[in-house]
Structure 1
Amino acid sequence: MTPAGAASPGDAGGGRPRRGHGRRIVAALAVTQTIGYGVLYYAFSVFLAPMARDLRAGGPQVAAALTLSVLITALCAPLVGRVLDARGGRGLMTAGSVLGTAAVLAWSRVDSLPQLYAVFTAIGVACAMVLYEPALAVVVSWFDGKERANALLGVTMVAGFASAIFLPLTGLLVERHGWRPALVVLALVYGGAAIPLHAFVLRRRAATRHRPAASARRADIVRTATRARPFWLLVAAFTAHGGAVAVIAVLLISYLVQLGHPPVLAAALAGLLGVLSVTGRLVTTGLQRRAPAALVAATVFTLQGAAALLLPPAGRSVPGAVGCVLLFGFGFGVGTITLPHLLAERYGTAAYATLSGRIAAFAVAAKALAPLAAITLAQAVGYGWVMGAVAAACVFAASALVTYHHR
């Protein structure tokens, strides 16, 4: 495996990176990912109703802005990956933070749907530049081996609390000040933290004399990988699983209410998903030190499929609903820490961000489109079939990972 320091987007020089600065990078990214996901993604649900009222638009018309943003992120992911491998994360993530801050400020001023869609196009570009894919690429290239696993866990564990922090915080701001001032506050919070942390903590990749040779090497790695079956098994696994997780995230509350549970209980159970994702990442990281990462993730994905399949018959009782949500939520964030491990393990770090970006183009698009397809399916044939489709996607993802492990 290529030493992490030899291909680091953030390394300031050759050799093994200093542990002290590595810890500062992890701390900085943990903060920026938590605030970034909270402001650029999760807060939207709180603004949905007041925006629809002020813009005199329907809820689906306003919600389409977030779908557009996620699709733009997917489209930008391959290009962002190539830039990360070539130039590192410092300049890219700093520029993305500036763009994200400006876009949220512009969001607070929109007066029409076209303006809203334009703003969320910019937010989608910013998300591609500052959220998990680039952040984890910086971590992967800075650390190696066990230290890499711990660093990935550190960033994603903290960021897993983004929804738990920013949904109530945003709700409080909207209640006290209105949605437009609330967005200004969130923009200032995000920009005040992310811009300096990305600019001054992340390091530039060391300039090398053989940059054309390094570029050719990356291109060769990508060409070889994308022509072989293992890479496409990863694409299939994480696209299917990402879509399944997105469906549960969007539809769980509605389905639990349909099963007869009070809205407050349904919302509380759905709120557990973020906390459970942290627990799942912690346990999975420990298991991956004792067993192949692909097989550990495949097992978790299979358990999630079982939980989705059991929810229709068992979810009408409170214990049954709690059990199914706990089982599915345990694997909610497992894909986030497993994919970097598998990519770096097989292909090294020289072209990590490029390969990750290509997978993200499929997986992030699935996260945007799968909930829309699931809502259509639920309206046509009922939620039971949706849960069956989620179970099938999880089992398919698990099967792809098992096949990948044996290639």
Structure 2
Amino acid sequence: MADTHSNAGAIWALGVTQIIGYGTLYYSFSILAPGIAVDLNVAVEWIYGCISLALLAGGLISPWAGGLADRLGAGKIMSVGSIGAAAALAVCGLAGSTIEFLAGIILVELASAFVLYSTAFAFLAQTTGVRAQRSITYLTLIAGFASTIFWPLTALLLQAMDWHQIYFLFAGLNLAVCLPLHLWLSRFARIVAARPVENTAVPALMTVDNGNLVFVLIVLGFSLAGFVSAATLFHMVPMLGLLGLGTAGVWVASLLGPAQVASRLINMAFGKDLPATVLAVVSAITMPVALGTLALSAPSTSGAVAFAVVFGLGSGLFSIVSGTLPLAIFGKAGFGKRLGWIGMGRLGLSALAPFALSVALGAIGPRPSLGMLAGAGMLCVGVFAEVWRRCRAARQVTVVLE
């Protein structure tokens, strides 16, 4: 019972750091970008170009960060990452030119590789044993409030201070809240490592032929999902404005967080026995459905609400799948590094997304741009359907041999 309570405390601590991490390092950007562009006297596309380069840098460093988490412990890596995140946000706050802002936002994404989901999932795999997949679901349930909190909060803060001051405030949050929690989690990990090894049976891994090809497909699927997600999330509020939603865009976008949380609650209640491969396909299907709904219904507020809810449901499930799918197929050995490679592919393709959609919105308008994203979403569905087919075929062969 004590172990259960301590594990719950670790998950809650991680949940708080993920809310602050995603809120300050990721979700706030789309709210701050237009004001930054005006203040630095550049086109907003240039600002989105900065985040594209930054995401690429974060992707390139992800396998290394994952390997460090495997070797040194994810808790230690997140503690160092908190300091890096605070420093990076402070650099953004000090930026007085486009080059200085570019340097700061690249540092932000480099720090993100050490403090966000990939490293947090590795921490849970290292500390919660056979309950790792369930713990990942609980964590994503808590962290799903990041966008709900930080989109409106950032918009509210802009009414009282400028973007420089907001970045300094966010730096302080990472230093004052996330760093102490990550240091405590490092101590928690050391205590767990000193416990007797659990005798509980380890869940059987999925057996697949040509595991390397399956892993490549998984990386490709998450990369396509990351492209669609990054493009949509970074542009959600301004894109809803272009479609005629006006000021309603902010509160419509804020529905994303509750939908993410709802999808995780539904999965916890009814999807306990659903294979991770099936959950990946279901998650992927929501993206083209949501984007198609928005394109066909705009400027209807009810259509926009449906889009935000469906996209949020899929996004919430994807957060779970990104941790549970590779864990279910390949196990805990080298889990952090596998997540790092997935992160490199996802962030590498996501790096193109903010800039590409920014250009597309200006060149062809919001509706055709949504069609382009929906097409990428359909490709993602096809890739994860192939992963599911290969795992299912291998499982059937195993049953026949037995």
The bucket for the TM-score relative to the shorter chain is: 0.7 to 0.9
Shift of 1:167: 3.0
> Pick from 182, 189, 214: which aligns with 1:198?
182
Q: Does residue 206 of structure 2 align to residue 231 of structure 1?
A: no
From 149, 153, 156, give the equivalent of 1:169. 153
2:37 is aligned, of 49, 52, 71, to: 52
Residue in structure 1 matched with residue 12 of structure 2 by the alignment: 27
2:322 matched to 1:339? Answer: yes
Does the alignment pair 1:75 with 2:63?
A: no
Q: Quote how far apart the aligned CAs of 1:270 are.
A: 2.0
> How far apart, in 2, do the equivalents of 1:378 and 1:100 lie?
31
Specify the alignment match of 1:7 in structure 2.
none
What TM-score comes out, normalization by structure 2 length? 0.84
CA distance in 1 between counterparts of 2:295 and 2:43 reads 30
Change (3 A) 1:121 1:287: same
Query: What percentage of aligned pairs have identical amino acids?
Result: 27
Distance 1:21 1:225, change over 3 A: farther
Scaled by the length of structure 1, the TM-score of the pair is 0.83
For residues 269 and 344 of structure 1, do their structure 2 counterparts lie closer, same or farther at Cα, with a shift above 3 Å needed? same
Question: Which residue matches 2:374?
Answer: 391
Residue 168 of structure 2, aligned match among 184, 200, 203: 184
Q: 1:357 and 1:299 mapped to 2: Cα distance?
A: 24
Change (3 A) 1:45 1:301: closer
The answer to whether the 8 A contact 2:62-2:341 is kept is yes
- In structure 2, the CA distance between the partners of 1:392 and 1:90, relative to structure 1 (3 Å rule), is same
- The question of whether the paired residues in 2 share the 8 Å contact of 1:152 and 1:337 is answered with yes
- Residue 377 of structure 1 and its aligned partner are, at CA, apart by 3.7
What is the number of residues matched between the two proteins? Answer: 375
Separation (CA, whole Å) in 2 of partners of 1:338 and 1:285? 13
Distance 1:49 1:300, change over 3 A: closer
More divergent stretch after superposition (124-133 vs 110-119): 110-119
- Residue 386 of structure 1 aligns with an amino acid whose one-letter code is S
Q: Which residue of 2 aligns with 1:159?
A: 143
Superposition deviation, residue 304 in structure 1: 2.9
CA-atom RMSD, angstroms? 2.8
1:246 equivalent among 230, 239, 249: 230
Aligned partners of 1:141, 1:150: CA distance in 2, in Å?
13
Please state how far the C-alpha of 1:256 moved relative to its aligned partner. 3.8
- Tell me, in whole angstroms, the C-alpha distance in 1 between the residues paired with 2:185 and 2:377: 38
Instruction: Give the counterpart letter for 2:144 in structure 1.
Output: G
* Residue identity matched to 1:402: A
| Preserved CA contact (<8 Å) 1:68 1:124 | no
C-alpha displacement at 1:363, in angstroms? 0.7
Are positions 1:118 and 2:113 aligned together?
Answer: no
Partner of 1:39: 24
Counterpart-to-counterpart distance in 2, 1:380 and 1:179: 28
1:353 has 2:336 as partner: yes
The answer for unaligned runs of 5 or more in structure 2 is 194-207, 391-402
Check 1:369–1:205 CA distance in 2 against 1; reply closer, same or farther (3 A cut): farther
Are the structure 2 counterparts of residues 168 and 388 from structure 1 closer, same or farther at C-alpha, using a change threshold of 3 Å? closer
Which is further off, 393-402 or 119-128?
393-402
Once residues 192 and 302 of structure 2 are traced to their aligned partners in structure 1, the CA distance between those partners, rounded to angstroms, is: 58
